Amino acid sequence: MAFNTKVDVADTELEANEAVADAGDVTLEDEALVEAESDADEDNEEMDDEETDESEDSLTYSNGVIEKIVAMATREVPHVLGMKGNLMHFVQEQFGAENLTKGVTVEVTDDNRVVVNISVIIEYGAYAPAIFDDVKARVTERLAAMTGLEVAGVNLRIEDVITPEEYEHRTSQHE
């Protein structure tokens, strides 16, 4: 705001002083009320801090842990002879590393549910749809029991069908 005359400055100062006077004097009651509101605000801030402290707790699982649970649960299912991994798993095995998550990948959805992808070798003569149902039930049960996570989907890929003797022969050659 630009002032053109001394009268404008004086009028503005007078209006400001009148506004302060109209606001009235602060009484002891008003001060007590202000202090009470201030104390209440501090209490609320402390409560907010306590609530924040509680919300800072967390429990997370690495994908490797989830994959390991899934792989172990899958191996418990009858007629699943083994897991089929990718090239990286093959290289690790050549150097003597046992990879318990071989053949398993997991994806965590936005709503913290898990989609499981499993590649297996099954026994020749076994009924694949029954194996799928058993794997799905076992994986879902184990993940829920151990982590509380819900399984959004299980994708089972049958990579090979062999006899138990053939599987033993193959695995003994790698050792």
pLDDT for 152 equals 98
Could you tell me if 23 and 68 lie in one domain?
Answer: no
On whether both 28 and 75 belong to a single domain, the answer is no
Distance CA 67, CA 40 (A): 50
Same domain, 69 and 154: yes
Domain match, 29 and 77 both: no
Q: Which domain holds residue 29?
A: 6-55
- Which residue among 55, 71, 95 closes a domain? 55
Is residue 1 in a domain? no
Q: What pLDDT was estimated at residue 90?
A: 45
Shared domain for 100 and 36, answered yes or no, is no
The string of DSSP codes covering 147-164 is H-PEEEEEEEEEEEEE-H
Global pTM value: 0.62
Residue 132 inside a domain? The answer is: yes
Residues, the chain, total? 175
pLDDT digits over 19-49, tens only?
444 444 444 455 445 455 555 555 555 555 5
